[in-house]
Amino acid sequence: MPRTIHVIGAGLSGLAAAIRLSERGERVIVYEAMQQAGGRARSYYDAATDLVIDNGNHLLLSGNHAAMAYVRALGSQAGLVGPPRADFAFIDLPSGKRWTLHINKGRTPWWIFSEQSRVPGSSLMDYVRLVPLVWASKNKTVAETIACHGPVYDRLGHPLLLAALNTDPPQGSAALAGAIVRETLLAGGLACRPLIARGLTEVLIDPALRLLESCGAKVRFGAQLRALDLRDGKAHALDFGTERIVLEKEDAAILAVPPWIAPSLIPGLSAPTQYRAIVNAHFRVQPPKDFPPMIGVIGGTVEWIFAFPDRLSVTISGADRLLDQSREELATAIWREVAQVAGITTDLPPWQVVRERRATFAATPAENAKRPGAVTKFFNLYVAGDWTDTGLPATIEGAIRSGNRAADLALRNQAT
């Protein structure tokens, strides 16, 4: 009987692990508590707008190498769309001023030398002031590392770091912010092209399920792991309530569940305990013809607007302050800003507001320090997820890297 690797959780980390293992010829079973895969990155039909929407707009960058390799393996790269180059459109809402950052392809940042390409009102020194983030210490916040003001911080550093950390940047981990700066701005325009999935499920999830099926892997929905039988340094069984699955001698398990679940299944496992919300608002309206694929909004409640063929969708990160506001109030206030940016004069179109309270862990130094590695005290049990110690904030890229790593460890363990 060949060994089986059990993957618990069909979010992006679990799917990435399962794909890597299946492609290496392992027998894989994925267990997902819900009836749908994708976890925090999923699409669904929304009756209020009569559209298929994503739970949140998800931005990838062309330099997210693990995510790009994942999408290539799925064959769904055509579903990632964005501007042809690393161009980032912005508007300053109070003044109405618009500009576009043009980040040149190579690593030498020629763009910061050109007034047409860089942040308006900025000087070269303003960019140099971001550099200490690159070698920042793990226990420092962004505010303890760089000056959190000035044109480059206000119009580039703040929006970039807020989107990546999902945490008010001054309180954010300087080390995680540094990882973002290294993998984006310092890597040059080839790594910074923004890419948006035209349907999270269509591009990132359903093709993964099809690939797994073609490799012979099984995916079981409605299978919620209730407990793990952990003794003598080994996981002995998976308990799904009505069913107990015994792990044979060579079997292994990868727990790819969110940070608020994993410690209840592995007593003593360290994990972040504070989270930050993301609010997304979707408006069923055709974007104006020349509207960019995405635009950063400075000085408003709205932070980013994404254009889809059938809607304009808004992302607001670190959005805990908006959780107590009524959905109607939020939709009206957000639409006012969207209409101003897009130059649309119509009243509030059909809308939906999605509030993900625990979108990501809070990317502060204290929470970052709680992230565990993939290896556990149990030799045949690994953990994966965007909240494990990936060196990145909670992102698709981090989730996929963590799944790959857990899979590699399980493969290596069998080889030794």
Ligand X SMILES: Cc1cc2nc3c(=O)[nH]c(=O)nc-3n(C[C@H](O)[C@H](O)[C@H](O)COP(=O)(O)OP(=O)(O)OC[C@H]3O[C@@H](n4cnc5c(N)ncnc54)[C@H](O)[C@@H]3O)c2cc1C
Q: Which pair of tokens denotes residue 150?
A: 């000035």
Pick the closer one to ligand X by CB: 276 or 284.
Answer: 276
Interface map 201-240 toward ligand X (x if CB under 6 A): -----------------------xx---------------
Pick the closer one to ligand X by CB: 178 or 398.
Answer: 398
Q: Which pair of tokens denotes residue 47?
A: 């009756």
> Does residue 33 belong to the site contacting ligand X (CB under 6 A)?
yes
Among 4, 6, 7, 12, binds ligand X (CB under 6 A): 12
Using the rule CB under 6 A, give the single segment among 30-38, 68-76, 154-162, 174-182 that binds ligand X. Answer: 30-38
Rounded Cα distance between 8 and 255, Å, is 5
> Does residue 145 belong to the site contacting ligand X (CB under 6 A)?
no
- Which residue intervals of 215-357 are DSSP H helices? 262-265, 327-342
How do strand 351-361 and strand 275-283 relate by DSSP bridges?
A: antiparallel
Q: How many Cα atoms occupy the beta-carbon half-sphere of 252 within 13 Å?
A: 25
Using the rule CB under 6 A, give the single segment among 2-10, 110-118, 145-153, 361-369 that binds ligand X. Answer: 2-10
Identity of the amino acid at 360 = T
Q: Which pair of tokens denotes residue 370?
A: 């709680």
Pick the closer one to ligand X by CB: 112 or 297.
Answer: 297
Q: What is the arrangement of strands in the sheet containing 381-383, beginning at the earlier edge strand?
A: 218-221, 27-32, 4-8, 252-255, 381-383
> Does residue 352 belong to the site contacting ligand X (CB under 6 A)?
no
Pick the closer one to ligand X by CB: 9 or 169.
Answer: 9
Q: What is the arrangement of strands in the sheet containing 275-283, beginning at the earlier edge strand?
A: 97-102, 87-92, 294-298, 304-308, 311-316, 275-283, 351-361
Among 31, 111, 275, 308, binds ligand X (CB under 6 A): 31
- Which residue intervals of 144-261 are DSSP H helices? 151-152, 158-165, 174-183, 200, 206-214
Among 4, 7, 11, 19, binds ligand X (CB under 6 A): 11
Answer for the pair 65, 197: CB distance below 8 angstroms, yes or no.
Answer: no
Q: Which of residues 276-305 bind ligand X (CB under 6 A)?
A: 278, 280
CB of 398 to ligand X, least distance (A): 6
> Does residue 56 belong to the site contacting ligand X (CB under 6 A)?
yes
Answer for the pair 238, 244: CB distance below 8 angstroms, yes or no.
Answer: yes
> Does residue 41 belong to the site contacting ligand X (CB under 6 A)?
yes
What does R_g of the chain's alpha carbons equal in angstroms? Answer: 22
Answer for the pair 19, 410: CB distance below 8 angstroms, yes or no.
Answer: no
Among 18, 362, 399, 407, binds ligand X (CB under 6 A): 399
> Does residue 8 belong to the site contacting ligand X (CB under 6 A)?
yes
CB of 213 to ligand X, least distance (A): 18
Q: Which of residues 358-397 bind ligand X (CB under 6 A)?
A: 359-360, 385-386, 394-397
The footprint of ligand X (CB under 6 A) covers 8-14, 31-34, 39-41, 55-56, 58-59, 224-225, 256-258, 261, 278, 280, 356, 359-360, 385-386, 394-397, 399
